[in-house]
Structure 1
Amino acid sequence: MQNTQTSFSIKNWSDDDKPREKLLQKGRSVLSDAELIAILIGSGSRAESAVDLSKRILASANNNLNELGKLSVKQLMQFKGIGEAKAVSIAAALEIGRRRRGEEATIISKITSSKDVFELLQPILGELPHEEFWIIYLNNANKVLFKEQLSKGGITGTLVDVRLVMKNTLEQGAVGLILAHNHPSGTLKPSSADKQLTQKLKQAADVLDVKVLDHLIITQNAYLSFADEGYL
């Protein structure tokens, strides 16, 4: 008699339902997110298949892989059928995806729009649970000379040393600056502190004949540009 506990293992599914075989025969792009996760976990529980379990896990993250990537191993293990090994596999795969996107973003060497800034910094800032403030230093052709984190704070805010920004500007020989920070809350509305800091840095940069070209607020899926909105 077949063991019911193993009947949901991918190897026991019909050929049409096997995501591994589907990937090999039709390519990885045709698989759904749930099917890809099912390949990672290999089997479900006695009550549901690996794909159904994967769909349930995804649903808990609003069917958003970025949201899923924020779950800890312990949180993933709350799902029946997900032990430590499976949780680690999911976490590792999503981290590889995040790093890959970050490496692709570093290819951007010249800033031509606010979207370029978002593509460059979203992999770094978009999923953080805390706030960070970053600066991109540009030459006169808007090519990226350097980018760095200036401060790291809690969810409610972060502090920026204006003197340090100006010191680094001179050291990099930059003529343009782009400011950026994330809002873990997801809101794209600039606070009064955001606006005050922008003006403070703008005034300090003007003394050095350096332009603050933009300030972006970055969230997981979107951004607000001070330049695009006319706040500068």
Structure 2
Amino acid sequence: MTNATIKNWAEDDRPREKMMLKGAEALSNAELLAILINNGTRDQSAVDVCKSLLNKVDNDLNRLGRLSIKELLKLKIKGIGEAKAISIAAALELGIRRDAAEKKRDTITHSRDVAAFLKAKLQYKKHEVFAVLFLNQANKIMHYEVLSEGGITGTVADPRIILKKALSHDAVNIILCHNHPSGSFKPSRADRDLTAKIKDAAAMLDMTVLDHIIVSEDGHYSFADEGIL
């Protein structure tokens, strides 16, 4: 297939043909999104519609990935209705899950192992999310679960729920984790107090809190690495 052949295709179909000819890496972000939405409007091609979408988020895919379906629709991009917004959101979520899967380690040996996984899972959240990794004696991950989701001002984690979950998964070690949507990954006084509270409660059941990791788009903070656990 040649470039001349591509020109004979309808404009909305050209990104697909370009991908077949040159591979996905040869396509722009707008062209890749155009394949997802399938067609444009009477006045604009699918690529033009997607360029308008990207302009709304300053061509920032991370910012686009944080938008919910409702928020995508609120951008009021002509040519993107509910069905196309769902397709875009689903594709971006697959990207997030793929990133997290690539960074997941079955056995934790260092804070950076779990931080990369947690950052992939939580960095796009616009509100604080508190999650826990439950591990066995060999530090193999038995279970990962989000236990609470709060507003912009914060989230609350109940030590009783955490320990009950740990017992149900036969965990002996725990790693606490949450995100800071603000971008700063330094722990607050409340973060420190909550960590100490959960650590003391876990010790009573012969469980160990190995770390509390805070992630943001800018990096991560490990209580264990900083010697404050």
TM-score, normalised by the number of residues in structure 1: 0.78
- Give the secondary structure class of the aligned counterpart of 1:186: coil
Q: Deviation of residue 10 (structure 1)?
A: 9.6
Could you tell me whether the CA contact under 8 Å between 1:76 and 1:87 is conserved in 2?
yes
Q: Which residue of 2 aligns with 1:57?
A: 53
CA distance in 2, matches of 1:44, 1:142: 50
Q: Deviation of residue 192 (structure 1)?
A: 0.6
CA distance in 2, matches of 1:152, 1:75: 19
**Unmatched 5+ residue regions in structure 2?**
1-6
Structure 1 residue 110 and structure 2 residue 107: aligned? yes
Structure 1 residue 30 and structure 2 residue 41: aligned? no
The one-letter code of the counterpart of 2:215 is I
Q: Which residue of 2 aligns with 1:5?
A: none
Q: Deviation of residue 159 (structure 1)?
A: 1.9
Q: Which residue of 1 aligns with 2:91?
A: 93
Could you tell me whether the CA contact under 8 Å between 2:15 and 2:27 is conserved in 1?
yes
The one-letter code of the counterpart of 1:180 is C
CA RMSD of aligned residues (A): 3.1
- Give the secondary structure class of the aligned counterpart of 1:18: helix
Q: 2:166 aligns with which of 162, 166, 169?
A: 169
Q: Deviation of residue 193 (structure 1)?
A: 0.1
Q: Deviation of residue 162 (structure 1)?
A: 1.8
Q: Which residue of 2 aligns with 1:188?
A: 185
**Unmatched 5+ residue regions in structure 1?**
1-8
Could you tell me whether the CA contact under 8 Å between 2:101 and 2:117 is conserved in 1?
no
Q: 1:146 aligns with which of 143, 147, 164?
A: 143
Q: State the identity as a percent.
A: 52
Q: Which residue of 2 aligns with 1:80?
A: 78
CA distance in 2, matches of 1:169, 1:201: 12
Could you tell me whether the CA contact under 8 Å between 1:135 and 1:177 is conserved in 2?
yes
The one-letter code of the counterpart of 2:88 is I
Q: Deviation of residue 46 (structure 1)?
A: 5.9
How many residue pairs get aligned? The number is 221
Q: Deviation of residue 187 (structure 1)?
A: 2.5
CA distance in 2, matches of 1:162, 1:172: 15
Could you tell me whether the CA contact under 8 Å between 2:11 and 2:45 is conserved in 1?
no
The one-letter code of the counterpart of 2:36 is L
Distance 1:59 1:223, change over 3 A: farther
Q: List per-residue Cα deviations over 1:11-63 (Å, max 9, x = no partner).
A: 4349xx93211110122233222210122234445665433432332232243
Could you tell me whether the CA contact under 8 Å between 1:66 and 1:220 is conserved in 2?
no
Q: 1:120 aligns with which of 108, 117, 122?
A: 117
Q: Which residue of 1 aligns with 2:133?
A: 136
TM-score, normalised by the number of residues in structure 2: 0.79
